[in-house]
Amino acid sequence: MSGLDQIFVWIGHRAAGWFPASVQPLVSAVLAIAGVMAVFGTCFALTTLAERKVLGRMQNRFGPNRVGPYGLLQPLADAVKMLTKEDIVPFSADKTLHFLAPLVLTVPVWLAFAVLPFGRNMSAINLDAGILFFFAVGSASELAVFMAGWSSQNKYSLVGAMRAIAQMISYEVPLVLSVVPVLMLAGSLELNDIVAAQGTYTFGGLARWNVFTPWGLAGLILFLIAATAESNRSPFDLPEGESEIIAGFLTEYSGFKYALFFLGEYLGLFAVTGLAVTLFLGGWHAPFQWLEWVPSWFWFAAKFGALIFLFIWVRATLPRLRLDQLLNFSWRFLVPLSLINLLVAAAWYWTGAWKFPVVAPIRWLLCAALIALPYHWLGRALRGAMPPPRKYIYAE
């Protein structure tokens, strides 16, 4: 492989080589942590800017363009503002919990990055149960959100926290269930194995990513919807719904603690986006065989960026859901559909043994129909389950 592909691995090895052998594992671990924190910290700053710019353009506005050329220094200005703001703790707040909540949100989210493979030989640790670890640390954010809402002693904070808990527990189920088919087909919980399973090519050089299979496509869409809800992003931003409950569980936070919540939310989004890339979009593999010469970390970054753009795009398009719509959508639509997706994955597995001419398109269409028809029926049932439009007696 080319030197550029392994340049970060090489730099890490060289830097660790300067230290005595006894501390080398520690040094390389610290270097990996520093690298991940630097890259995704910068990514956070850039995403806040990109989000505002893209949202602006999608609403026919300019977006921030005052600080620096094209507004590029806006994250810096935001950081200065956040850090210099007064840190207010409400008089009746539970001071300890109020202080701990942003930390409890941010710290576990960083841990989730430990198992993601960012390129060839570029995952911080190779855990046997990497996915399990990822979801275990990821679910700590529920606790942090409820800590924030409860400790603030504010009705809006509490309402926001209750909404957040209802939403996050409901969407954790489809999030995990949509991942299961990938684990079934790859036969491993380790993310590097899952990437390796998608590393072969077919049909004259097209990659064998999971997203090109019916269950993979459905799984990716289910996963992205659930991930949007998990990271409290629009259209599932009920916990923070500004127009309804001020800022939800963030109401009583200001200054650096508020910034930490923001950081935690964006990092959570990055982590699930990285997982989506790894599980469904072939990780760091190139889409075509003749593009293999491009460094692997570039492919990861490109897919990652594309998914982040998709999240921003969705945010610019969809309005916020109501709470009953949100919960109905999860329990009556996403959960059954992700269970059915398991069956589709099983069907895909068993039809893999079929041997006759033009088997590939037939197999694909058969499995696609297995997920498309339930999609259609469940969607109609969901629409029937919704309460009828409210009638206003006095307003009309």
Partner 1 sequence: MNGFGIIKGMIETARNFVGSYHDAQRLTTVQYPEQKLPPVENARTIPFLVFDGDDAMAGLRCTACVICEKECPPQCIYIVKDQVKKPDYVGKMQMQPKVFDIDISVCMSCGICVEVCPFDAIKMDQVFELSTGDRFGKLLLDKHQLAKPNDYFVKIHKTEASEIDVRREEDKRKAEAAAAAKAAAPKSPATPGAAK
Residue among 256 and 375 whose Cβ is closer to partner 1: 375
Ramachandran assignment for 291, one of left (phi > 0), alpha (psi -120 to 50 degrees), beta (any other):
alpha
Instruction: Give 294's Cβ-side CA count (13 Å radius).
Output: 14
Residue among 151 and 228 whose Cβ is closer to partner 1: 228
How far is 168 from 227, CA to CA, in rounded Å? 10
Q: Is 375 in the site for partner 1 (CB under 8 A)?
A: yes
Amino acid identity, residue 351? T
Residue among 124 and 217 whose Cβ is closer to partner 1: 217
Amino acid identity, residue 77? A
| Token pair listed for 381 | 């049932």
In whole angstroms, how close is the CB of 287 to partner 1 at the nearest point?
22
Q: Is 316 in the site for partner 1 (CB under 8 A)?
A: yes
Amino acid identity, residue 283? G
Q: Is 365 in the site for partner 1 (CB under 8 A)?
A: no
Contact letters (x/-) for partner 1, 12-31, by CB under 8 A?
--------------------
Amino acid identity, residue 67? V
Q: Is 384 in the site for partner 1 (CB under 8 A)?
A: no
In whole angstroms, how close is the CB of 57 to partner 1 at the nearest point?
5
Q: Is 132 in the site for partner 1 (CB under 8 A)?
A: no
Number of residues binding to partner 1, judged by CB under 8 A: 17
Q: Which of 67, 314, 342, 366 binds partner 1 (CB under 8 A)?
A: 314
φ, ψ for residue 188, nearest 5 deg = -155, 150
Q: Is 54 in the site for partner 1 (CB under 8 A)?
A: yes
Taking a C-beta distance cutoff of 8 angstroms, is the pair 289, 119 a contact?
A: no
Cα end-to-end span (Å), the chain:
71
In whole angstroms, how close is the CB of 216 to partner 1 at the nearest point?
18
Q: Is 380 in the site for partner 1 (CB under 8 A)?
A: yes
Q: Is 322 in the site for partner 1 (CB under 8 A)?
A: no
Please state, in angstroms and as integers, the Cα–Cα distance from residue 242 to each residue in 82, 221, 226, following that order. 19, 27, 21
Residue among 301 and 378 whose Cβ is closer to partner 1: 378
In whole angstroms, how close is the CB of 228 to partner 1 at the nearest point?
12
Q: Is 317 in the site for partner 1 (CB under 8 A)?
A: yes
| Token pair listed for 281 | 């979009």
Long-range contacts of 6-11 (CB under 8 A, 24+ apart): 6/120, 6/121, 7/295, 8/35, 8/119, 8/122, 8/297, 9/121, 9/122
Element at 127 (helix H, strand E):
none
Residue among 288 and 313 whose Cβ is closer to partner 1: 313
Q: Is 62 in the site for partner 1 (CB under 8 A)?
A: yes
Q: Is 59 in the site for partner 1 (CB under 8 A)?
A: yes
Amino acid identity, residue 114? A
Residues that bind partner 1 (CB under 8 A): 54, 57-62, 313-314, 316-318, 375-376, 379-380, 383
